[in-house]
Structure 1
Amino acid sequence: MIRLNNIDKIFRTEAIETKALGNISLEIKQGEFVAIMGPSGCGKSTLLNILGMLDNPDQGDYFFNGENIARYTESKLSEIRKHNIGFIFQSFNLIDELSVFENIELALLYHKIPAAERRTRVQAVVEKMEIAHRTHHMPNQLSGGQQQRVAVARALVANPKLILADEPTGNLDSVHGQEVMRMLKMLNQEGATVVIVTHSNEHSSYAHRRINLFDGKIIAQTQLAAA
């Protein structure tokens, strides 16, 4: 599904140049669950942003479903993202003025899906995430765990092939964090490819493979018992 060859990413200001990623090569197969780990500032989120086509590499090749997309235009990348990738963020990124239903439905509006089908899809995903009783609530009426369930539902509603989660349990207590990890594992078992960034060894154990970064380089890849 994904292959990165010799990816570099450099952030520049007038004064300094910082190499966030150096010579990254890796492959992620359809249906894998991969955890990316490492200390703060090692390039985990930068790598996830490149995988999600939210940022472009400065050097190297990125093959997505066999196509080298490293030099694609933003409009072309946007189309690929829209049809293939769901994002889950640490900060939930829900819109306070919209209900749970409307937050989730928003992902489908970009696909120009008819209203009746949108309602059907949202209903199916809120039932899967066990938040059907909360669809008319506003985000500020939910617990952190419930808000993250909404964020997961929003990522799922368009049926993405790839789910990218950046510290999805970072703002949750241990109980709600485990709930989110179990949901991601369930989605992976149903066929989705899942890539998470995490600081937690416990949470990384849900994955098939752990990738360790340090100073923008892959220093280890470990196959886990979850496979």
Structure 2
Amino acid sequence: MTAKEFVKKLSADNEALFKASEMQVATYFNNQPSQEELIEHFTGRMVNERMNMVAIADKVARMPMDADTTELRLLSKQALDEATHFEMVKEVIEHISGKKIDVAKAIAHEAANPTAKGATLIEKYEASNDELSLALYQFIAEGRAEVVWDKMAEVIEDKFISTRYAKIARDEGFHSKIGRTKLQELCVDAETQARAEKIAHEIRCDLFRISASNTTPVAEAKELVREAYGLVV
């Protein structure tokens, strides 16, 4: 199949993950978590944004002198977006707690007591050095983030938080489109498509496990991913 057809198939295969994750995050926030639970949840989110920022900035810094200028610009914008998200989630935590956060202390605490984070997959799949893995991470993880944060912005009652996450969701959608474009460039032969299919499946399963550990279990969501990916959580 053509690269465009293949990426369209990847997109369709993402839907079960996106829907299941959306169900879980809606259930989590509809259950009205405590202030302490929210602070812990968003501290993990803040650190995740910082990890994304560092990974993408590192990718930009190591791009060759003859790198495509459009790709360079788009990845640079993504790194800036991730830095902005890092700051915005910091502000969300301060809004919830009513006091300034010691960012270095919070990051150290999170490192000592880590919550599951999507950005860890960048290292797992060596995405900083593998352009196919990075494009898949952008396409799937950032696409999932767009859906999840849109849902959170819809269900959470606090307008300070919901408006910021609506903005973050829009940016994640843009980052996913960067991945889509790169995949259409890379997935032009059967060998690359087969490798992409394998990595994509693994990323989807990892992302659902991460989602399940950070939100509220939903039986229907688990059944969706079991049917789609053979994943039992």
The answer, yes or no, to whether TM exceeds 0.5 is: no
Report 1 or 2 for greater relative contact order, CA contacts < 8 Å, sequence distance ≥ 6: 2
Which structure is higher in strand share?
A: 1
Q: Normalising to structure 2: TM-score of the pair? A: 0.28
TM-score by length of 1: 0.28
Structure with the larger helix share: 2
